[in-house]
Chains A and B, each alone.
Chain A
């Protein structure tokens, strides 16, 4: 791809904190208008990457550009082109929601009238106009995050950085934030977000960079990543240990796949390419044959399992 179409680009980004190598050569290429995820466990280097790109931290080596500006030599231009939603919600509880946005608008150097107009627009875009006079202290987690997002969108920046935007939110709050991010992305904002939730990356991102120990070692689409991680597993558990081998035979017969049996847990497990179809078929056979089971369900590999798998794949 033509580098000029890349809104975020890093090459060999390196950062050391004392003896700890936080970033060990991160290469990112994020095309304009896409949502890019940095997926990895805590301490992988996700936040450090975002902090360097948002001009908060200086890298030790490597290059990084945002919206065509070099983060080291043109930090002020970069700051005019980005929005940052950090891990903490940078919202002033002692001001109203609207006053929060007008204050940030003033700090983005809008005149008073423009700051007020922009605040009202953003309150509407993020569905907060009815709560505009209230203190954010009374808001739900999802509303606070939306206000936080609104504050970062004052200048309609080309690039939006989201650092773990849904950490600490309840499921409803997560969905609210996801919806807001989707709408911003649909309107052309390039989004670079960090997360340690596989499902969040799956929901929002066009492409995902898996990052661990300061290196991004895999970049793929969510679908591609899931393929690499492996299929869903269909698990059937029984209360009576004697019934286990019968269940294992049944599952093997229905799916035609190799079934692993965990005798201690009283559970059979099989990797299935089409989880829902396999679940339906197995469940109806179990019902028809009136076998007593204690649990049946589909399980995705956990992120830990996926990481183990991906890192071993990458080092192979």
Chain B
């Protein structure tokens, strides 16, 4: 504590202490909703300030997908024959959309980790003891994660363009593809929030990777399920990530996206799957996340 200079009283600055906090009295639903959105945006601003102050964090988060792109295109890619036209043929076009989908899918770990860390570091308690909208604690997280995801996607798409990937569809189709990717990410934000609230500490959250890795790879991300052993192929085909990956391959007009007759019904319904799967995930995990959040007061 400084002993020199003026020591203002905490109440100095006029009516600050006496004025009721807006949006906390018996206000209309509309006013409370407006404040909930503003609180949410304040949290988003805080998250975006992190990025601005520490761009290196962002670079680290992207490190993994970038390494994967390079590995799968240059290390394994030349040995892969997914188009039936010889090893390496068209693999960039096949793998890049898969890469996009997987980056979105793995994003749930970032969400879970951030939520757990917030809980662990006492932020959740402080926020919940403040006259702000309690929901902003998690909605702010969600919105900033979507923004982050859009930036991630743009960066990876940039890298993909460098290694030779091209979107073959129309502009509308291309935008729709990116929309489906963010739709998947949005659904998984609620999975992340639920897990983040459920998990006791950030060390456990860090080990989510062990679960995410097989869930990400047993899909059509890097290889068509038709090439896998029967039972594994079925699991891979029904993986929600596969639907999104296949749907955006269609939208990007990826050569050989169909690869003959689909062996699994869901393979023929990629667009439908890419819309319905995330909706289904949200139908399950939004209530779970809400309940888990309310359980904090127990």
Contact = CB atoms under 8 A, between A and B. Distances in A.
Given A90-B123, A110-B16, A124-B2, 15 more contacts: A55-B128, A58-B297, A77-B25, A80-B21, A84-B129, A88-B125, A89-B122, A107-B127, A107-B136, A108-B131, A118-B16, A127-B1, A146-B1, A155-B16, A155-B17
Given A90-B121, A146-B1, A156-B11, A56 B297 contact: yes
A92 interface: yes
Given A57-B297, A124-B2, A107 B54 contact: no
A95 B131 CA distance: 22
A161 B120 CA distance: 19
26 contacts: A58-B297, A58-B298, A79-B129, A88-B121, A90-B122, A90-B125, A92-B46, A92-B50, A94-B50, A95-B53, A104-B130, A107-B39, A107-B132, A108-B132, A109-B21, A109-B22, A109-B35, A109-B39, A110-B16, A114-B16, A121-B8, A125-B8, A146-B1, A155-B17, A155-B21, A156-B11
Q: Is the interface of B mostly helix, strand, loop or mixed?
A: loop
B17 to A, nearest CB: 4
Contacts of B43: 107
A184 to B, nearest CB: 7
A311 interface: no
Interface residues of B, number: 47
Contacts of B2: 124, 127
Contact of B50 (A95, A104, A188): A95
Contacts of A99: 49
A180 interface: yes
Contact of A82 (B17, B129, B296): B129
B88 interface: no
A56 B53 contact: no
Nearest to A117: B13
A84 B8 contact: no
Contacts of B263: none
A189 interface: yes
Interface in A32-47: none
Given A109-B23, A155-B17, A155-B21, A103 B5 contact: no
A187 interface: yes
Contacts of B50: 92, 94-95
Interface in B74-121: 120-121
Nearest to A57: B297
The 4 tightest CB contacts between A and B, nearest first, are A88-B122, A127-B2, A156-B17, A90-B122
B122 A56 contact: no
B12 interface: yes
Contacts of A124: 2, 5-6, 8
A132 to B, nearest CB: 13
A146 B1 CA distance: 8
Contacts of A180: 1
B121 A156 contact: no
Nearest to A92: B46
B20 interface: yes
A305 B186 CA distance: 56
Contact of B132 (A109, A153, A176, A188): A109
Interface in A90-122: 90, 92, 94-96, 99, 103-104, 106-110, 114, 117-118, 121
